[in-house]
Amino acid sequence: MKQEIKDIIYINELLEFYGILLTKKQQDIMRDYYLYNLSFSEISLNHKISKAAVGDTIEKSIKKLNFYENNLQYHQIFQDIKKNADENKLKIIAEIEEEFKHGI
């Protein structure tokens, strides 16, 4: 599964917003792949599942994350706010982003 850096960043951002809505297993596998940069082989060994199951879980998780974003649009709203924010608001936004990182 070869991905562009911008796609990896986007998935990580979606995980910050919606990761809590994934199952524990999906969260763990997505964290291993997107945050810790583990290979399918490493993840399959750690979770005692096949590499195909890892790929399926990642694919299904991405679909779920995109579904949530398409319907709720929290990520897009947050990006729009950041684009139009002044320096003081950017500090507050950075604090909120830090809080989201602790959510997953």
Q: Count the alpha carbons within 13 Å of 59 in the hemisphere toward its beta carbon.
A: 9
User: 11, 58 in Cβ contact below 8 A?
Assistant: no
pTM over 0.85: no
Of 5, 51, 8, 57, the C-alpha closest to 28 is 57
In sequence order, which residues have a C-beta less than 8 Å from that of residue 21 and are 6 or more positions away?
Answer: 64, 68
At 103, is the pLDDT very low, low, confident or very high (cuts 50, 70, 90)?
Answer: low
Give one DSSP letter per residue of 65-94, joined into a string. HHHHHHHH-HHHHHHHHHHT--HHHHHHHH
pLDDT at 104: 47
